C-alpha cells in the first residue's frame, strides 16, 4: 500500500546547504518576511486595527517558501484560511496584504475579502480560502486549464491536515490522477485541525500521505520545518508534473507555534502540551536555515541582523501604508458582484 | 428581412448551442458524468465527442464537487467550462463550489477574478423518478448573489440563453426541464443567435390576468389560458426566462395592464420562486392590483414515486385554472 511513499524525515545533512547563495538568501528572506509579517498581524489585531479572524502561519514558513521557491511566476496556487505565508512566498506584496487585513481600499481585494480571501491573479494566487478543502477543486481545475492550453503551468494546492478528511480531497485527487494533471497536493500537517489533534480524527497509520496510494500517485513525507528538504522535494515533483507525469501528494510535517487564531486562548493549557510545543520550537525553520547559511559562509551574524532590520522596516512600512489607506467608499459595496 | 427558422427539440437546442460555442471559441469545453461516450443520460449531447474529441468533451468520475471545483479552477484560469450536473438534485453535492467559491470569487477579490463557468442541470418531476431525481431546486441558486440563473421554457429560449451563458464572464446556471427534451419549437437559424439574460418574454398576450410562469409551467399556463378563454377570461402569460437577473419591468407592465397576477413554478412552494415573484409584484405593482397575488408551486412534500401520487404534487392546468378563477369569483382553490 505504501510502495510509492517516500519519507524524508530530516534534511540529508544539517551541516551543509546544497543550494546556491542567491536562492538561499531568497528563501531565508521570504521566511523571515512571513515571520515578521505575522508578528505585525498579531500586533495590529491586538491593537484593534484588524477585525475578523487572524490565523497565523508562524512556525510553518519553510513549507510555503520551500514549495513556492520551486515555482514559476505563472504557476498557480490555492491557499487556505492560514494563507498569509503562501501569498508572501509566491510573491505577494506585504503592503497590499496588510491593507487588506485592515479592510482598506488599497488592499489586494479592495477590502472585500480580508485575511481569508486574499488573491493576486497576476501571480497565479487563486485565493486563500475560508472553506477547509475549498481550494482543492480549484487547483485541479487550474491544472486542467494549464494542461489543455499546453502552457506548462503547474498548480499547487496547499491544505492542512484537517482538509485531508474532506470529501473534496478524494474527488480532486482522483480526478487529477485519472487525467494526469500537473497538481502538487501539499498537505501542511501541523498536527491540529483547529483544536483537535489530527491523529485523533484521521484513519491513517502514521502519515496522512499514505492516502496517496489510493490515487495511484507518489507521495513524499517531508520534514516541513526544513526549507531545503521541502524545496528539493518540490523541485522534483514540479519537474515531474511539468513533464506530464501527473499529480503527487507532499506531506510537510510542521507545527503552528500560535493557536488556531489570534485570541483563542493558550493551546498549551487545553489541547496540546508544552513539551510538544518546545520540541517543535527547537526545530524552528528560520534559525535552523540561518545556521546552515552561516556554516556555508554565506552570511554572518551581523548580516543576519541587517537582513532582519530591512525586513522589519518593510513590514513596518506596510503597516503604515495600511493605516493610511482609506476604507472603501460605501458606493463600492455593490461593485464586483458580477464581472 | 426576418431570420429563417428551423424546428428542433429542446434537447437539440442544447447540443447546437454547445457545438456552436465550441466551434466559435476554443477555450470552451464540456464535462460531466456520461456526457461524452454515452451522449448524456438524456442523449442530448450525442455527437459532441465525435466532433470535438475527448480533450474538450470529457466524461468525469461521479464526483459532483470535484467536477464543479475543476470547472471553477479552469474558469479562473482562462477556460470557459460547461459543467453538466445530470440531475439538479445532485447539485447539492457541489454546493460549496458554486455558492462559496464560484459565486464569490469576483466580489471577494475586488474584481480581480472572474469565473466564466456555465452549469447545466435538470429540474422537473413527472417521470416517477422519486424524491432524489425530480426536484426543482432553482430557488437555491437564485438566492445567491454572483450567480446568474436561466430557466428556459422553449427550444429557442434554451438555445439563446445557453449561448449567452457560455459567453458570459460570470457563473451561470441553466435549469433544463428533463420532461421537455423532446419538445419541438422554432429556432432562428443563425449561429450568433443569443438571448440576453434579464429579458422576460410574453408568451401569450391577454388583458384580464397575468400568469407569470417558468419552464414547463409556461406550457401549463398556456393550456390554462386556452381553458379560461372559454370563460371569457383573457390571460397574459409572462415568462421571466431568467430568475437572476429578473426582468421585473416586463412583469410589472403586464400587471399594470391586467390588474391581476398568478405566479406558477415547479419548485416547492414554501420559500421558493413563487414567493419571491409574488412579493415583488405586490411591492412594485400594488397600486394596479385588483386582487391579491396568488401563487402555485409544488406541494411541500418530497416527490413521491407512485404514478398515483406524483401528479398530485405538481402544479397543473386544472389547479391553475381554479386559482385564476378565484381571482374573479368566489371559488374554492
Catalytic residue numbers of B, as ranges: 64, 133
Exposed / middle / buried, residue A202 (Cβ in 10 Å: 0-12, 13-18, 19+) = middle
Report CB contact under 8 Å: A112, B107: yes
The total number of structural domains that make up chain A: 1
Structure confidence at residue B3 (pLDDT): 82
| Tens-place pLDDT, residues B159-170 | 999 999 999 999
Q: ipTM for the complex?
A: 0.95
Contact list in A for residue B78 (CB cut-off 8 A) is 145, 149
How far is B35 from A140, CA to CA, in rounded Å?
20
Would you call B149 an interface residue with chain A, using a CB distance cutoff of 8 Å?
no
Fold of B201-328: Rossmann fold (3.40.50)
Domain boundaries, chain B: 5-188, 201-328
Would you call B74 an interface residue with chain A, using a CB distance cutoff of 8 Å?
yes
Contact (Cβ atoms closer than 8 angstroms) between residue A198 and residue A191:
yes
Residue A159 inside a domain? The answer is: yes
Unique residue bearing C-alpha cell 484521521 = A202
Residue A327 inside a domain? The answer is: no
Contact list in B for residue A174 (CB cut-off 8 A) is 61, 63, 66
Q: What is the CATH number of the domain that holds A164?
A: 3.40.50.970
Average pLDDT over residues B248-276: 98
Structure confidence at residue A281 (pLDDT): 96
How far is B252 from B231, CA to CA, in rounded Å?
25
Distance between the two ends of chain A, CA-based, in angstroms? 46
Can you read off the three cell numbers belonging to residue B115? 469565473
Report CB contact under 8 Å: B96, A117: no
How many CB contacts within 8 angstroms connect chain A with chain B? 152
CATH code of domain B5-188: 3.40.50.970
A114 backbone φψ class: left, alpha, beta (φ>0; ψ -120 to 50): left
**pTM of the full structure:** 0.96
Option in A108, A111, A134 nearest B96 (CB): A134
Q: Is the model's pLDDT at B158 over the cut of 80? A: yes
How far is B102 from B92, CA to CA, in rounded Å?
15
Contact (Cβ atoms closer than 8 angstroms) between residue A28 and residue A246:
no
Q: Is the model's pLDDT at B312 over the cut of 80? A: yes
Residue A335 inside a domain? The answer is: no
Report CB contact under 8 Å: B65, A168: yes
Structure confidence at residue B333 (pLDDT): 65
- Please indicate whether the domains covering B5-188 and B201-328 agree at the CATH topology level: yes
B297: closest CA of chain A, how far (Å):
29
How far is A293 from A328, CA to CA, in rounded Å?
44
> Domain residues for A152?
5-321
A214: closest CA of chain B, how far (Å):
15
| Tens-place pLDDT, residues B8-51 | 999 999 999 999 999 999 999 999 999 999 999 999 999 999 99
How far is B75 from B160, CA to CA, in rounded Å?
21
Q: What is the mean pLDDT of each run of 10 residues along chain A (339 residues)?
A: 60 76 98 98 96 96 98 98 98 98 98 97 97 97 98 98 96 98 98 94 93 94 95 96 97 96 92 96 96 95 98 98 98 97
Nearest in space to B275 (alpha carbons), one of B265, B286, B290, B285 = B265
| Tens-place pLDDT, residues B160-198 | 999 999 999 999 999 999 999 999 999 999 999 999 999
Structure confidence at residue A5 (pLDDT): 74
Starting from the edge strand earliest in sequence, which strands make up the sheet with B294-298, in order?
A: B201-204, B235-239, B209-213, B261-268, B294-298
Amino acid at each position: 500500500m505504501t510502495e510509492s511513499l517516500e519519507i524524508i524525515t530530516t534534511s540529508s545533512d544539517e551541516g551543509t546547504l546544497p543550494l546556491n547563495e542567491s536562492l538561499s538568501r531568497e528563501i531565508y528572506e521570504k521566511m523571515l518576511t512571513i515571520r515578521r509579517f505575522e508578528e505585525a498581524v498579531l500586533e495590529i489585531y491586538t491593537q484593534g486595527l484588524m477585525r475578523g479572524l487572524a490565523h497565523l502561519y508562524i512556525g510553518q514558513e519553510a513549507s510555503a517558501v520551500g514549495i513556492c521557491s520551486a515555482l514559476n511566476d505563472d504557476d498557480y496556487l490555492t491557499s487556505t484560511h492560514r494563507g498569509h505565508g503562501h501569498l508572501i512566498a509566491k510573491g505577494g506584496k506585504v503592503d497590499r496584504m496588510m491593507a487588506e487585513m485592515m479592510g482598506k481600499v488599497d488592499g489586494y481585494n479592495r477590502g472585500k475579502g480580508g485575511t481569508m480571501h486574499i488573491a493576486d491573479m497576476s501571480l497565479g494566487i487563486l485565493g486563500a480560502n475560508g472553506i477547509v478543502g475549498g481550494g482543492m477543486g480549484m487547483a485541479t481545475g487550474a491544472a486542467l486549464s494549464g494542461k489543455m492550453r499546453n502552457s506548462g503551468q503547474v498548480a499547487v494546492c496547499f491544505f492542512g491536515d484537517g482538509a485531508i478528511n474532506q470529501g473534496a480531497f478524494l474527488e480532486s485527487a482522483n480526478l487529477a490522477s485519472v487525467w494526469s494533471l500537473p497538481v502538487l497536493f501539499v498537505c501542511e500537517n501541523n498536527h491540529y485541525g483547529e483544536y483537535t489533534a489530527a491523529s485523533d480524527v484521521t484513519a491513517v497509520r502514521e502519515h496522512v500521505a499514505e492516502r496517496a496510494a489510493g490515487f495511484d500517485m507518489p507521495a513524499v513525507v517531508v520534514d516541513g520545518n526544513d526549507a531545503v528538504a521541502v524545496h528539493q522535494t518540490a523541485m522534483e515533483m514540479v519537474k515531474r508534473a511539468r513533464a506530464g507525469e501527473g499529480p503527487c501528494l507532499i506531506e510537510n510535517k510542521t507545527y503552528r507555534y500560535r493557536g488556531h487564531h489570534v485570541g483563542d486562548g493558550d493551546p498549551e493549557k487545553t489541547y496540546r502540551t508544552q513539551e510538544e510545543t518546545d520540541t517543535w520550537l527547537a526545530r524552528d525553520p528560520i534559525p535552523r536555515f540561518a545556521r546552515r547559511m552561516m556554516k556555508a559562509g554565506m552570511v554572518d551574524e551581523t548580516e543576519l541582523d541587517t537582513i532582519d532590520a530591512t525586513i522589519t522596516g518593510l513590514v513596518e512600512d506596510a503597516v503604515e501604508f495600511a493605516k493610511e489607506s482609506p476604507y472603501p467608499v460605501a458606493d463600492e459595496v455593490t461593485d464586483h458582484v458580477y464581472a | 428581412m426576418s431570420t429563417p427558422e428551423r424546428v428542433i427539440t429542446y434537447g437539440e437546442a442544447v447540443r447546437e448551442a454547445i457545438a456552436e460555442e465550441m466551434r466559435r471559441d476554443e477555450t470552451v469545453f464540456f464535462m460531466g458524468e456520461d456526457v461524452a461516450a454515452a451522449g448524456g443520460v438524456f442523449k442530448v449531447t450525442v455527437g459532441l465527442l465525435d466532433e470535438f474529441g475527448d480533450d474538450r468533451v470529457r466524461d468525469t468520475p461521479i464526483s459532483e464537487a470535484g467536477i464543479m471545483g475543476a470547472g471553477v479552477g479552469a474558469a479562473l484560469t482562462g477556460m470557459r467550462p460547461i459543467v453538466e450536473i445530470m440531475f439538479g438534485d445532485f447539485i447539492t453535492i457541489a454546493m460549496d463550489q458554486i455558492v462559496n467559491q464560484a459565486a464569490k470569487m469576483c466580489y471577494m477579490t475586488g474584481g480581480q477574478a472572474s469565473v466564466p463557468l456555465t452549469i447545466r442541470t435538470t429540474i422537473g418531476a413527472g417521470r416517477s423518478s422519486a424524491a432524489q431525481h425530480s426536484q426543482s431546486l432553482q430557488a437555491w441558486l437564485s438566492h445567491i448573489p454572483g450567480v446568474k440563473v436561466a430557466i428556459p421554457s422553449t427550444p429557442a429560449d434554451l438555445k439563446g440563453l445557453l449561448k449567452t451563458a457560455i459567453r458570459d464572464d460570470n457563473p451561470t446556471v441553466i435549469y433544463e426541464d428533463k420532461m421537455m427534451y423532446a419538445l419541438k419549437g422554432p429556432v432562428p437559424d443563425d449561429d450568433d443567435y443569443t438571448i440576453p439574460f434579464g429579458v422576460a418574454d410574453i408568451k401569450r398576450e391577454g388583458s384580464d390576468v397575468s400568469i407569470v410562469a417558468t419552464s414547463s409551467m409556461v406550457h401549463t399556463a398556456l393550456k390554462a389560458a386556452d381553458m379560461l378563454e372559454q370563460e371569457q377570461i383573457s390571460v397574459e402569460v409572462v415568462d421571466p426566462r431568467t430568475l437572476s437577473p429578473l426582468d421585473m419591468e416586463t412583469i410589472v407592465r403586464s400587471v399594470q395592464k391586467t390588474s391581476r397576477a398568478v405566479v406558477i413554478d415547479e419548485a416547492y412552494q414554501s420559500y421558493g420562486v413563487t414567493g419571491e415573484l409574488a412579493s415583488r409584484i405586490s411591492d412594485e405593482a400594488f397600486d394596479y392590483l385588483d386582487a391579491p397575488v396568488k401563487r402555485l408551486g409544488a406541494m411541500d412534500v418530497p416527490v413521491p414515486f407512485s404514478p398515483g401520487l406524483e401528479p398530485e404534487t405538481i402544479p397543473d392546468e386544472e389547479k391553475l385554472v381554479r386559482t385564476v378563477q378565484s381571482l374573479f369569483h368566489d371559488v374554492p382553490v
